[in-house]
Homo-oligomer: A and B are copies of this chain.
Amino acid sequence: MSRLAYLGPSGTFTEQALLARPEAVGAELVACPTVPAALDLVREGTADAAMVAIESSVEGGVSVTLDELATGTPLVIVGEVEVPVTFCLVAPEGVGPEQVRTVGAHPHAAAQVRRWVAANLPDATVVDAPSNAASASALVDGTATWDAGIAAPLAAERYELTVLAAGIADTAGAVTRFVLVAPPGSATVPARTGADKTSLVVFPGEDRPGLLLEILESFALRGVNMVRIESRPTGEGLGNYCFSIDAEGHLEDARVAETLMSLHRTSAEVRFLGSYPRAAGGAAGPGSPGSPAPTSVPPGHADEDFAAARAWLDGLRPSR
């Protein structure tokens, strides 16, 4: 039986994402207090994989995940899940809105209800909760330093709390993308499906001001479609950034392989974060896997084209 870590406690969106994966069937699910803790279980070999949030349609990249994956012992993404995000304000029985002075929320949740809270609870202080579920569970086990929590509907139900307000996200249609992370080379590393995504981090070396332009051209010229690029500070001073990138295609696609090698040659470091099947596109709940459309490959960039070019080149060499 496999062990799968996730950001707990029970009731988080992360758990919901994990439950949408086939790997979760029959597995032991291990709730962790933080993203680094979940990843560390995988790095130590205590867990086989971990589910963590990586991107929010409202807040953008999840910094802690991006930074943890970009450094330390390498891990690779083996799958992704998109989960629709809806929030409610929950409180123990008997607590009314007028009594709420402090609100527990995970910072990303807090960001997504910022305007609602400012308008409806103008005097309340938002307190950092370690997860979207803990903001609810702590109200039950007595450890909460807040009066009410911003939580997923699932958490409200599971911890039997009163829903003071539902659907309170500032923006409707919010989605969070989660990734399942495993050690590189493990049995869980997925084969090419034709509808894949590849993630990587590129570290420019010194004196490489034009590198971002070169990176984009490296992808474009080989017909590889980039779907996300974010700059993250390397921590070595203002203006020192690395680039976290998602592109369509798989390490086993010739056009992706050549792009990766090109980046490896021209930057200080490239960290490969995995090739894995794309999510179906729409947000997925359990039981709605769908089937993502195959990646569209521009003319001249398919594996056959690479093979034909190689054969042509080999034929040019004099047979000595």
Contact = CB atoms under 8 A, between A and B. Distances in A.
B60 A264 contact: no
Contacts of A146: 145
A34 to B, nearest CB: 8
Interface in A222-260: 222, 225, 227-233, 235-241, 251-252, 257-258, 260
Contact of A310 (B58, B64, B261): B261
Q: Is the interface of A mostly helix, strand, loop or mixed?
A: mixed
A46 interface: no
Contacts of A251: 313, 316-317
A260 B313 contact: yes
Interface of A: 36, 55-60, 63-64, 82, 102, 107, 110-111, 114, 118, 125-128, 130, 145-146, 170-171, 173-175, 177, 184-187, 189, 209-210, 212-214, 216-218, 220-222, 225, 227-233, 235-241, 251-252, 257-258, 260-262, 264-266, 270, 272, 299-301, 305-306, 308-310, 312-313, 316-319
A56 B238 CA distance: 7
Nearest to A237: B57
Contacts of A240: 57
A265 B306 contact: yes
16 contacts: A57-B235, A57-B237, A59-B233, A107-B128, A210-B220, A213-B213, A218-B221, A227-B239, A228-B239, A251-B313, A251-B317, A257-B313, A261-B312, A264-B308, A265-B301, A266-B299
Contacts of A310: 261
Given A57-B238, A58-B235, A184-B316, A145 B118 contact: no
Contacts of A209: 225
A264 B313 contact: yes
A145 B127 contact: yes
Contacts of A225: 209
A184 B127 CA distance: 34
Contacts of A238: 55, 57, 82, 175, 177
Contacts of A59: 63, 233
Given A128-B110, A318-B189, A36 B118 contact: yes
Nearest to A129: B128
A308 B214 CA distance: 20
Most B Cβ at <10 Å: residue of A228, A239, A301? A239
A229 B213 contact: no
Contacts of A306: 261, 265
Contacts of A232: 60
B312 A262 contact: no
A310 to B, nearest CB: 6
A225 B177 CA distance: 33
